[in-house]
Structure 1
Amino acid sequence: MWEACDFDPDYGIEVLVSMSLVKITEYNKFQMHDLIKDLGREIVREECFGDPAKRSRIWSSKEAKELFKIKQEKENVEGLFLEKLYGDCILKHEQFSGFRNLRLLKLVGAKLTGDFENLLPKLKWFTWQRCPSDFAATNLTLENLVVLDLSDSFITENWAGWNMVQIAKNLKALDLTGCCNLTSTPDLSNNDALERLILRGCRNLAEIHGSINKLTRLKHLDLQGCPSLRGLPEEIGSLEDLEKILVDGNHGAPFHLPESIGNLCSLSVMKLHGVEITRIPDSIGGLVNLTHLSMQFCSGLKTLPDTMGDLKSLVELDMSGTELSALPNSVGRLTRLQSLRLDSSKISRIPDSIGGLVNLTCLSIVNHSGIKTLPDSIGDLKSLVELQMVCTELSALPNSVGRLTRLQSLRLFSTKIEGLPDTLGDMESLVRLYLSGKNLSALPDSVGRLSKLKGLELNSTKIEELPDSFGDLKSLVHLDLSSSKLRILPDSVGEMSELSELFLRGCNIRKLPSSIWKLAKLEFFSADSQGIDEIKNSTNLEILELSCLGSECLPQLPSTLELLSLYDVSARTKLPDFSNLERLWKLEFKDCFLKDEQLEGLRVLQELRSMHIGNCSEELVKFSCQMGNLTELEILGGEYLSESPLLDFSRLENLEKLVLWSLEELAEIRGLRELEYLAELTIGDCDSLEMIGNLSESKRLKKIFIVRCSKLREIRGLNKLFLASIRIEGCGSVRNIDELKKRCAWGKFDGLEVENNAD
């Protein structure tokens, strides 16, 4: 498009990037902040504020419609946007007669009629989304067209407008996204300049027309979201310039990959996701420039051909979700491979040849149970940075893993490993070590040599004691020992000067060493409430999670706390004095059954702004409705409102966000009228809820999300609101849905989703 408009794309893009006006993503797409886009459009508006006909681009549909009424020449206009039109909107040829220099035209939902001969001679980019199935324009010969976007249109392969497309000899990009009436691609044999063909979301597309072999310059073919497609045609092998093929989701129907696929000598990316392919042709070895091959969730794929080893340029191979039970030995010849993912596959053996992958940086084998051992050659992966495995049958690591001196992340979950080799300490670059498994009972003393280790997780293990060298992990920032069998935490933990996060919930520790409260950087602490009497001495602790099961009395808490989460507090538990928690702004309770007398002490929390209550007593739920300083309240779960099945929020005058979920006994919500600052309301799975009180005074309310409230009959006050989005789903008794639909038509808000509701 840049070249077609006589711009130097390399220089122009370089200037925009250097000025931070645009960003190019890893997928070679432009990203631009909305503010910059709006700024650019405002600059164009100021070209001639009072006379749109003298501007170069018209972004406003309203102004564009006004221009159509003017008979004077609009030769300055090069770009024109007409959106939010309806299917019965007809644009006649004479309305375009003054736009002789138009290069960019965007129409959404319109029908063109009349004789367009000699009109729009300079048009380069034509977006005609949601165009009708009948083509009423004549002599629309867009010979200079470069980009054509017909996405979400009602056209078929027999659409009369394809004649217009065939005349566009310079067409480089054709976007047919969401054209669900297409069952076959049209004849594109005359469009041999085409470089991008996008058919994403064409749900009924079953066939690729044989004329695709004429598209010898095609570089990008997008067939994602085409569940009716049964394969690629043999003719695709003629596309020697093709660089990228994207296919996904044909819902279990057989999918054919032709032998000619091996002729695509320029192909660099092939993604076949969720297609029922049972065989990869041997010819795949001919894809000498293929860098990325992903076949995620191709559940019929059980084997790979030996010719896979001929993919000399391959950098990324993803076979996650396939039926593969083994890799061919030839995989060891993929010397440029950097990432190998076999997640959710049925791999039961890793070949010895894997040691040949000298540039491999990531190996991931997650969520399967077949592998019992790893070959010694795993230690030859000198470039490996990340090793991640969830293998329930894996019983040991070979000593050779110590040779993985560049490894930074080792994650082993749900294995049968009982212990780790002493060579673990030789992994001098290791930064994260995450281990779980009910058989793991010890760490080697060499773990203390991991001088760069910042994250260590040993949750759900049988480890009872930590090695003497544990205190040498001076760089450790994150330590998670939760749900392990650990009985003693060594004093040396207090010497880990960088430690900021410590998780000990569910351990067998009876008393914690006093040294941990001297850790100057400790900010996040999660533990059982026993044995932490000295926690008040912590000087920087900001986030605290306490499991209080069986506790009779909670210790005094440090004044630095900002977020406090309490679990399993009973009616017999004595709560601490909260008056020193002057910084606390968020308080969470889960499975807590507190009485009114226990809750009175919370009233001193003047800075409290957020409460999260999950499956707690009715007293606690009702008490939260009295905390007038709250700006956010979430109440999730609970069957404890039977005595008084209503909630009154009228005292929460500062509330901005309210979430109510899975309150089965809740029948009525009151007091919403008083919540003038409420901006977001979410209600779900409240099976007894019949009415939501008056929302008419909640003038700042922008988002409403209500799902699966089967008895809900009425939502009052909606006619007074100016919402941004609303979603109502699974509320079969709501009676004022028609009112919502009318307001959507009036344009009062942008988003409306209503499903399975009574009309």
Structure 2
Amino acid sequence: MSTVIFQRMHNLRLLQIIDANDITRSFKNLLPKLRCIRWHYCPWTYLPSTFCPEDLVSCDMSGGKFKRLWKGPKPIRQINYLTCLNLRDCRGLKRLPESLGDMKALKNIDAGGTAIEKLPDSITKLKGLITLNLYKCKKLRKLPQDIGNMEGLESIGAGYTAIEQLPDSITKLKGLITLDLGGCKKLRKLPQDIGNMEGLEFIWAGYTAIEQLPDSFGGLVNLVKLRLSSCKKLRNLPNSICKLKLLKELYLRGCSNLEQLPEQLGNMQSLEYLSASYTAIEQVPDSIGLLGRLELLFFKGCKKLKFVPESIWNLTSVAHLTLHPGETDKISLST
């Protein structure tokens, strides 16, 4: 395909390219009003210097062969109005340019599934960025130290990366709603002041090496979902977790060293789903009977479970209760 076909398309605003091996020749003075380009599996290794649509708002090049976003410094007047940059699954992409921080209009960056090892420090200048997706960037070891400056962030997807520790400044992100760290096998702890992130509603931290949750966890007053499945080094939960009045779902399945649930579990009045299957808990706290909204309760595979309080019969909303099969005769059901 040649750029010649675009020479008369002066008003073209949306360009979607399907099954094109390449586009040859210069883009100079072409597509002056282009606002959106969607070209999955693009063969380019970087954006050509002649491709300068000044009004471009959305660039979706997922699955492309990019090794870098552009060659050399950022081209003059290029994509300064870009709000959405999708480079997901561009597996050859090893870094994002330092000049990325100059693209002040960016709202969404998706670099999931790329080979980037670190983010440019300049990215912290993007105070209007809302979504940052780094899911399955398996070589990414850390987030920028000043990520807390990105005050507009609402979602960070960093699951299945090589991140070992979160920068303390992340606790400044009071507007962050979603934090995905699931599958970060080298992550051993969360920041001590995570409770300051009062806007958080969803935390995914399953399949990590987290050993304990900070005492400040009770400050996450808007948390709705907490997933800690298969955190095999987690031994207990802080009592402050019982302050989470809005929490609806608590996933603890596969936390094989978790020995107990908090005594004041019943204070979590909004809880609807509790999965503690395949844990090492020996008894269920009596306060569980206060969870009037609980619908699903799982203790499957809890081979050490010996005591279930009679208050469990107060859970009239429960539609599904699972205990370890074949072990129910060993469990004491009493007050």
What is the TM-score with the length of structure 1 in the denominator? 0.40
2:174 is matched by which residue type in structure 1?
A: E
1:550 aligns with 2:303: yes
User: Aligned letter for 2:123?
Assistant: I
Shift of 1:408: 0.5
Higher helix share: 1
Q: Which residue of 1 aligns with 2:21?
A: 277
> Residue 6 of structure 2 corresponds to which residue in structure 1?
261
Aligned to 1:321: 63
Establish whether residue 487 from structure 1 lines up as the match of residue 248 from structure 2. Answer: no
1:463 to 1:552, Cα distance in 2 relative to 1, 3 A: closer
Letter of the structure 1 residue corresponding to residue 217 of structure 2: F
The offset of 1:405, in angstroms, is 0.1
Counterpart of 1:523?
272
Provide the rounded CA distance (Å) in 2 between the counterparts of 1:285 and 1:374: 32
Counterpart mapping for 1:407-426 below 5 A: 407-426=153-172
Q: Is the 8 A contact 2:306 2:332 kept in 1?
A: no
Q: Deviations over 1:5-24 (max 9, x none)?
A: xxxxxxxxxxxxxxxxxxxx
Tell me the residue number matched to 1:382.
127
Q: What SS does the corresponding residue of 2:112 show, helix, strand or coil?
A: strand
Q: Structure 2 unaligned segments of length 5 or more: list them.
A: none
Distance 1:453 1:552, change over 3 A: closer
Task: Report what 1:473 is aligned to.
Answer: 220
SS of aligned partner of 1:317: strand
> C-alpha distance in 2, partners of 1:423/1:358?
21
Q: Deviations over 1:507-535 (max 9, x none)?
A: 12100111122211111111126345123
- Output the CA distance in 2 between the equivalents of 1:262 and 1:356: 30
Assess, with a 3 A threshold, how the Cα gap between structure 1 residues 382 and 284 changes in structure 2: closer, same or farther. farther
Give runs of aligned pairs for residues 78-97 of structure 1, distance below 5 A.
none
Q: Which runs of structure 2 are paired with 1:204-219 in the superposition (5 Å)?
A: none
- Which amino acid letter does the alignment assign opposite residue 156 of structure 2? L
Residue 566 of structure 1: how far off its partner (Å) = 3.5
In the other structure, the counterpart of 2:44 is 301
User: Using a 3 Å threshold, how does the CA distance of structure 1 residues 287 and 554 change in structure 2: closer, same or farther?
Assistant: farther
What are the within-5 Å matches in structure 2 for residues 290-689 of structure 1?
Answer: 290-298=34-42, 300-308=43-51, 310-328=52-70, 329-330=73-74, 333-345=78-90, 346-368=92-114, 370-390=115-135, 391-436=137-182, 437-484=184-231, 485-507=233-255, 508-528=257-277, 530-534=281-285, 535-550=288-303, 555=308, 557=312, 558-564=314-320, 566=322, 569-574=324-329
- Cα deviation for residue 559 of structure 1 reads 2.4
Structure with more of its chain in strand, by fraction: 1
Larger RCO, structures 1/2 (Cα 8 Å, 6+ apart)? 2
Q: Is the 8 A contact 1:545 1:566 kept in 2?
A: yes
Q: CA deviation at 1:548?
A: 2.0
1:280/1:543 CA distance change after superposition, 3 Å: farther
Overall identity of the aligned pairs, in %:
30
Q: Can you list the C-alpha shifts for 1:671-720, whole angstroms capped at 9, x where unaligned?
A: xxxxxxxxxxxxxxxxxxxxxxxxxxxxxxxxxxxxxxxxxxxxxxxxxx
Report the alpha carbon displacement of residue 257 of structure 1 after superposing the two structures with TM: 3.6
Q: What do the CA deviations read for 1:13-39 (whole angstroms, capped 9, x no partner)? A: xxxxxxxxxxxxxxxxxxxxxxxxxxx
Residue 11 of structure 2 contacts residue 33 of structure 2 at CA under 8 Å; is this kept in 1?
yes
Deviation at 1:468, TM superposition (A): 2.5
SS of 2:234's equivalent?
Answer: coil
Partners of 1:524 and 1:285 lie apart in 2 by 58
Q: Kindly state the Cα deviation for residue 321 of structure 1 after the two structures are TM-superposed.
A: 0.9
TM-score, scaled to structure 2: 0.87
- Show CA shifts across 1:227-275 (max 9, x none): xxxxxxxxxxxxxxxxxxxxxxxxxxxxx243342542201101113x1
CA drift at 1:386: 0.7
The question of whether the paired residues in 1 share the 8 Å contact of 2:282 and 2:306 is answered with no
Greater C-alpha radius of gyration:
1
C-alpha displacement at 1:413, in angstroms? 1.2
**Root mean square deviation of aligned Cα:** 2.5
CA distance in 2, matches of 1:294, 1:419: 35
Which has the larger displacement, 545-554 or 388-397? 545-554
Deviation at 1:458, TM superposition (A): 0.9
